[in-house]
Amino acid sequence: MAKQKIIYDCDPGHDDAVALMLAANSPELELLGVTVAAGNQTLDNTARNACHVLQWLGREDVPVYAGCGQPMVRDRVTAGDIHGETGLDGPVFPPLRKTVEREHAVSYLSRALLASEGEITVVTSGPMTNLAMAMRMEPGVVEKIQRIVLMGGSYTNGNVTPAAEFNILADPEAAHVCFTSGRPITMIGLDVTRKVLCYPEIVERMAKADTRASRLFVDLMKHFCKTQKEVFGWEGGPLHDPVTIAFLLDPALVATKPMNVRVDLSRGDSYGRTNCDAFGYLGLPATADVAVDIDAERFWDLIEAGLRRYGGTEADA
């Protein structure tokens, strides 16, 4: 069967890094390119982190494109409290050989999508600035997007404000552009990603895989779980972003419900909230399939299988 082509747009970020691990060696996916935006940290940091992770994984051949360093309208917010000063605090990487492509991420997204025949899924796990900008600059890309699978939003509580989740709050206007694009969207929000908490026993289990990917996973999770505990009191950090890739590998993993989703752009207390009409009160057409449940055991099996597919040495990292 043909591999599913994806472009992965992210802001690494500890959980973005784990998603990259899963995407970069899956037999079912063809990772065409990685685009990065400012989000968890500044653009310089997120671009460097994407390169470090791909180099560590032995996938220097996957191009990394740096995109927008600022949201479309609002001022930039970062998540240093969770991901640290570098955006990927914890692991110690070898000197970086891999470089970022010269082409801007928005230009790459436009070029790749326009040249496609509608077979590319765009996965986003950071603020949606790059994708929204591509849609605005080249409206022709919209119909070329097979679908958008995003980590972001929540129909319950947020994680930066009571109302809003980080990826949406970091660029609500960009999320609005994407949610109103008319393309098929699967929204993987906090409602399900908070069901995959990376408890210490999960970290121990992954450590046993003893591959270069699992060693990176352990180093990442040590930092991530510590800050998640400090900020939210969780005993295990919610592994948000890899749910997007796990869902592509096994769609039955996540239960979804079609809903009308509107991003609150009002600049009040609920700025950046994804208002999801779960009960269809508004009588409006559904604009996204919203994740409502996840098989957590199966998720961890997929993560472990992904980590085990990597070799054991770091010789080429």
- Which residues bind to ligand BDR, rule: CB under 6 A? 13, 15-16, 40, 79, 82, 125-126, 151, 159, 165-167, 240-241
The residue range among 9-17, 42-50, 83-91, 262-270 that interacts with Ca ion, by the rule CB under 5 A, is 9-17
Binding at 166: pick from Ca ion, ligand BDR, none (beta carbon under 5-8 Å per type): ligand BDR
Per the structure block, which two tokens stand in for 237? 């950090």
The residue range among 6-14, 64-72, 231-239, 293-301 that interacts with Ca ion, by the rule CB under 5 A, is 6-14
Of 6, 13, 18, 64, which one interacts with Ca ion (CB under 5 A)? 13
Binding at 165: pick from ligand BDR, Ca ion, none (beta carbon under 5-8 Å per type): ligand BDR
Q: Burial level of 70, CB count in 10 A (0-12/13-18/19+)?
A: middle
State how far the Cα of 303 lies from the Cα of 293, in Å rounded to an integer: 18
Q: Burial level of 1, CB count in 10 A (0-12/13-18/19+)?
A: exposed
The residues, ordered by sequence, that sit 6+ positions from 226 with a Cβ below 8 Å of its Cβ are: none
Of 16, 165, 219, 289, which one interacts with Ca ion (CB under 5 A)? 16
Per the structure block, which two tokens stand in for 4? 């599913």
Binding at 159: pick from ligand BDR, Ca ion, none (beta carbon under 5-8 Å per type): ligand BDR
Tell me how far the alpha carbon of residue 40 is from its chain's centroid: 11
State how far the Cα of 5 lies from the Cα of 185, in Å rounded to an integer: 16
Pairing of strands 261-263, 288-294: unpaired
Binding at 135: pick from ligand BDR, Ca ion, none (beta carbon under 5-8 Å per type): none
Is residue 87 close enough to count as binding Ca ion by CB under 5 A? no
Contact predicate 38/69, CB 8 Å: yes
- Cβ atoms within 10 Å of 216's Cβ, excluding its own: 25
Taking CA atoms, 98 is separated from 123, 180, 250, 316, in Å, by 22, 36, 31, 12
Q: Measured from the CB atom, is 88 or 109 closer to Ca ion?
A: 88
Is residue 125 close enough to count as binding Ca ion by CB under 5 A? yes
Helix, strand, coil abundance in the chain, percent, nearest 5: 40, 20, 45
Q: Measured from the CB atom, is 51 or 82 closer to ligand BDR?
A: 82
Binding at 79: pick from ligand BDR, Ca ion, none (beta carbon under 5-8 Å per type): ligand BDR
Which residue is catalytic, options 11, 191, 219, 241? 11
The residue range among 15-23, 44-52, 134-142, 198-206 that interacts with Ca ion, by the rule CB under 5 A, is 15-23
Residue 171 CB, nearest approach to ligand BDR (Å): 12
Q: Measured from the CB atom, is 110 or 175 closer to ligand BDR?
A: 175
Residue 313 CB, nearest approach to ligand BDR (Å): 28
Q: Measured from the CB atom, is 41 or 110 closer to ligand BDR?
A: 41
11 is catalytic: yes
Q: Measured from the CB atom, is 167 or 211 closer to ligand BDR?
A: 167
State how far the Cα of 214 lies from the Cα of 227, in Å rounded to an integer: 20
Q: Measured from the CB atom, is 241 or 277 closer to Ca ion?
A: 241
Interaction residues for Ca ion, span 218-277 (CB under 5 A):
241
State how far the Cα of 44 lies from the Cα of 232, in Å rounded to an integer: 27
Collapsed DSSP state (helix, strand, coil) of residue 274: strand
Residues of this chain that interact with Ca ion (CB under 5 A) are: 11, 13, 16, 125-126, 241
Catalytically annotated residues:
11
